[in-house]
Chains A and B, each alone.
Chain A
């Protein structure tokens, strides 16, 4: 299934909840303020890197660009555009938005 997170990891616990619950082989898409989790040097980065062993992690590139953090993305995070966002939703039978 696909998990979508849109809240900053330093403001809400959405990402923590998502990573706690997501099962092996699931996909996690970071959008809006959640893209900060995919940037180097943050507490969330370590958690995300550990989670990448079991989960496929994506981040929405336009949101990274808008926040000036496109150059700080962690290795292993897959960047997608809005078309890629739609593809991910279409590819997975179930979606959960951690609002």
Chain B
């Protein structure tokens, strides 16, 4: 209750947050930890979006089966983001195409942006968190 009031007093200052992902999943812990941060951020009711650039686009691949490597499969978590009101997912076209991928290869619906469009979107943000 008191927490809610503090949020209100925060002045309705909803900031634009972008989480920029540039790392492939599973090879390092960045993608999983980054996703945890995004989910936590949902609790603060900010204007959140995610962008996937470079090897980060590999985080969105379909048909992931991690049983052979004994790691948790967190790919389906990207589909749960919508339930947290995080529905703005952007993929940089240049990164996607350089990896021979199309939108159909992804587990969620995304908006594909050119590098210039992504750059403009980044410039609009109040905060960019990159991993």
Contact = CB atoms under 8 A, between A and B. Distances in A.
Interface of A: 6-8, 10-11, 32-33, 36, 39-43, 45, 61-63, 65-72, 81
Given A11-B55, A67-B58, 5 more contacts: A6-B27, A11-B54, A62-B69, A63-B69, A68-B62
Contact of A42 (B24, B63, B68, B98): B98
Given A11-B55, A68-B75, A62 B68 contact: yes
A36 B63 CA distance: 15
A66 B98 contact: no
Interface residues of B, number: 26
A71 B63 contact: yes
5 contacts: A11-B23, A62-B68, A66-B26, A67-B58, A68-B61
Contacts of A72: 100
A1 B24 CA distance: 29
Contact of B68 (A32, A40, A66): A66
A11 B81 CA distance: 27
Q: Which of A6, A10, A32 has the most CB of B within 10 A?
A: A10
Contacts of A33: 24, 26-28, 55
